[in-house]
Amino acid sequence: MLFNSLGFIFVFLPLCLFAFYAIAHRCGGRAGIQVLIAASLIFYGMSNLSHLLLLLVSIVVNYWLGFRLQRKPNKWLLILGLVGNLLALAYYKYADFAIENFNYLLNVHFDYWGVILPIGISFYTFQQISYLIDSHRQQLRANNFQEYMLFVAFFPQLIAGPIVRFQELSPQFSQPNFGVFCWGNLNRGITLFAIGLCKKVILADSLAQEVTPIFERADAGLMLSQPEAWLGLLSYSLQIYFDFSAYSDMAIGLGLMMGIRLPENFLSPYKAENIIDFWRRWHITLSRFLRDYVYISLGGNRRGEARQRLNLVLVMLIGGLWHGAHWNFVIWGGLHGFYLLVSHYKNKYYGSNDSKSRTTKVFNILLTFLLVSLAWAFFRAHTFTGALTILSGLVSITNADFVYDIFREALLPLAPYFFIIWFLPNSMELMKNLEKYWNGDARAWSSTLVALATASGLSVCCFYIFSGSYSEFIYFQF
């Protein structure tokens, strides 16, 4: 089930909220947890029942391992848990990729297994790995199975994050006011959900209409004009941001409706002045996971500068491969690793010039955006040739007016989107600005206007969805 489907918005969500609050009100917070678990399993099971079984088995096994690790840290038990989780991920996500490479390298022809990727497996595997490691590190204590189950399966974040740590959710489940209905939370949740829905349905999906045909042609090895290549690449940079941050907004919004706070995942990443800054703002919970559980486990910066650089590149390569079973993702990760290395060297030898002057700041933001966009070519294209077609299209000058052509056919149509990413507040900033309307600090008429704007945004998005102008979230495929 998709968040951006009418079935979810008009049936599943209201029923889930009603059942959660009604039962929690009558029977207490524990019963509320059970309702949310049931809702989450229904939500997940509706797409594939056998994958639901896999999720349940994974939850039970990891809970048991975590429980043992909390009682007594055991390196081998931890390794068993990690290997088990990674093997499951490898089987479902990378089996055919491995066969493809095996066939290519040894010139053999083994059949593909055709394994269907369980939706959300990359995300819930990482969450459970974090649980095992934290248990081994003795950072977790005495938790119960229901809380653990909800931590993994909580439907707003189950499919595509944010990647949550057990310590972030568990204390919220045990609070005395958990399951107590609060109009303020509902308002905040609905508003953030509406912001996300608008970003997805109106912005990301309209950009997808530009991106899809251009990348399809590039993947087919067909020629692209220079403005087309620019339009395709820049549109995708914007699309993936609006799409993924929309999902995160909606997930956080849904959490808020149920009184559960999920961590922020995006903080205006395209306002970043360098790549290091970019990764502090883009998919924050993944960056945090990679830093805490991969980079630090590899030694982080404790084993000398050379090893630190190597760790950095390794982490980015792993991050790339995590996104999908294709060498393009590895190249994407490698490019970001390279960018990070250059950024670190630059900072070391020339110092950071962030925010020295307005011009430098603008230049840095544009340069970072360009570099990130170039890497997206590998992320979006289904073939290596496709990515190269896009990149070579960017510099294939066919006439003297090429700058004007790029401006007119690629930059101008995208101007409203650039305005949004560079000049408007992000969803979280917007939410802070809106607080006064729910706290009674604003005039009645302006509160009414904001309510009307939210209602209009929601209904227009529902209308878009009704007309079929919507698609799956990009990150569902990971």
Partner 1 sequence: MNLSTFNFKLQKCWAIAVVGGSLAIFLSLLCASEWLLATQVVPGDIFYKQLKLYDSHIPVKAVALGDSHMSQGFDAPEGILNLGLAGESFNQINIKLRNYLKTHEKPETVILQISPQMFADYRFTDDRRDYEAFFGGKWSLETEWYIFDPNLRSRLIPYWVRFFKGDGFTPRAMFTKQGALLIRYAMSGKFSEKDLFDVKARVEQHVAPDDFMALDVDDALKDVIQHMKANGISVCLVTFPVSPVYREIASGYPVFSRILTTIEEMAEHNEVPYFNYWSVYDNYEYFRNQDHLNDVGAGDISKRIVSDCIGNS
CA 77 to chain CA mean position, Å:
30
CB closer to partner 1, 181 vs 422:
181
Note whether 186 binds partner 1 by CB under 8 A.
yes
**With binding defined as CB under 8 A, does residue 466 bind partner 1?**
yes
Contact between 222 and partner 1 (CB under 8 A)?
yes
- 411 counts as binding partner 1 under rule CB under 8 A: no
Of 35-43, 234-242, 411-419, 432-440, the segment contacting partner 1 by CB under 8 A is 432-440
Judged by CB under 8 A, the stretch of 153-161, 265-273, 283-291, 467-475 that binds partner 1 is 467-475
Q: How far is the CB of 379 from partner 1 (least distance, A)?
A: 24
**Cα–Cα distance for residue pair 126/82, rounded to 1 Å:** 10
**d(Cα 268, Cα 277) in Å, to the nearest integer?**
10
Residues, the chain: 478
Q: Which is nearer to partner 1, 248 or 454 (CB)?
A: 454
Q: Is the omega angle on the peptide bond into residue 269 within 30 degrees of 0, that is, cis?
A: no
452 near partner 1 (CB under 8 A): yes
Stretches 121-129, 190-198, 323-331, 340-348: which one binds partner 1 (CB under 8 A)?
190-198
Asked if 440 touches partner 1 (CB under 8 A), the answer is yes
Single-letter amino acid, residue 53: L
Contact 157, 251 (CB under 8 A): yes
Position among 199, 217, 283, 380 found at the interface with partner 1 (CB under 8 A) = 217
Shortest Cβ 88–partner 1 spacing (Å): 33
x-marked contacts with partner 1 along 56-75 as a string, rule CB under 8 A? --------------------
Give the one residue of 28, 73, 171, 184 binding partner 1; rule: CB under 8 A: 184
Residue 323 one-letter amino acid: H
How distant, in Å, are the alpha carbons of 74, 87, 291 from that of 79?
9, 12, 19
402 and 226 Cβ atoms separated by less than 8 Å: yes
Give 9 or 276: the residue with its C-beta nearer to partner 1.
9
For partner 1, the closer of residues 17 and 284 by Cβ is: 17
CB of 14 to partner 1, least distance (A): 9
> Among residues 187 and 352, whose Cβ is nearest to partner 1?
187
- Cβ at position 437, least distance to partner 1 in Å: 7
Residue 300 or 457: the one with the smaller Cβ distance to partner 1 is: 457
Identify which of 314, 346, 348 has the alpha carbon closest to the alpha carbon of residue 333.
314
Residue 380 binding partner 1, by CB under 8 A: no
Q: Taking contact as CB under 8 A, which single stretch among the options 121-129, 167-175, 182-190, 377-385 is the one that binds partner 1?
A: 182-190
Q: Which is nearer to partner 1, 10 or 345 (CB)?
A: 10
Nearest approach, Cβ of 193 to partner 1 (angstroms)? 10
By CB under 8 A, residue 4 contacts partner 1: no
Annotated catalytic residue within 51, 136, 283, 323: 323
Q: Kindly state the smallest distance separating residue 114's Cβ from partner 1, in Å.
A: 18
Kindly state the smallest distance separating residue 217's Cβ from partner 1, in Å.
7
If one asks whether residue 79 binds partner 1 (CB under 8 A), the answer comes out as no
Residue 367 Cβ, how far from partner 1 at the closest point, in Å? 31
Q: Does 459 bind partner 1 (CB under 8 A)?
A: yes
Cβ proximity to partner 1: between 45 and 457 the closer is: 457
Three-state secondary structure of the chain = CCCCCHHHHHHHHHHHHHHHHHHHHHHCHHHHHHHHHHHHHHHHHCCCHHHHHHHHHHHHHHHHHHHHHHHCCCHHHHHHHHHHHHHHHHHHHHHHHHHHHHHHHHCCCCCCCCCCCCCCHHHHHHHHHHHHHHHHCCCCCCCCHHHHHHHHHCHHHHCCCCCCCHHHHHHHHCCCCCCCCCHHHHHHHHHHHHHHHHHHHHHHHHHHHHHHHHHHHHHCCCCCCHHHHHHHHHHHHHHHHHHHHHHHHHHHHHHHHCCCCCCCCCCCHHHCCCHHHHHHHCCHHHHHHHHHHHHCCCCCCCCCHHHHHHHHHHHHHHHHHHHCCCHHHHHHHHHHHHHHHHHHHHHHHHCCCCCCCHHHHHHHHHHHHHHHHHHHHHHHCCCHHHHHHHHHHHCCCCCCCHHHHHHHHHHHHHHHHHHHHHHCCCHHHHHHHHHHHHHCCCCHHHHHHHHHHHHHHHHHHHHHHHCCCCCCCHHHHC
Convert residues 138-177 into a mask of x (bound to partner 1 by CB under 8 A) and - (unbound): ----------------------------------------
Is 136 among the residues known to form the active site?
A: no
Q: Does 438 bind partner 1 (CB under 8 A)?
A: yes
- Sequence-distant (≥ 6) Cβ neighbours of residue 273 within 8 angstroms: 354, 355, 361, 364, 365, 368
Our finding on whether 469 is near partner 1 (CB under 8 A) is: yes
Please tell me whether residue 383 binds partner 1 under the rule CB under 8 A. Answer: no
Q: Is residue 389 involved in binding partner 1 (CB under 8 A)?
A: no
Contact positions vs partner 1 (CB under 8 A): 183-184, 186-187, 190-191, 194, 217, 220, 222-223, 225, 398-399, 437-440, 447-448, 451-452, 454-456, 458-460, 462-464, 466-469
Q: Which residues belong to the active site? A: 323
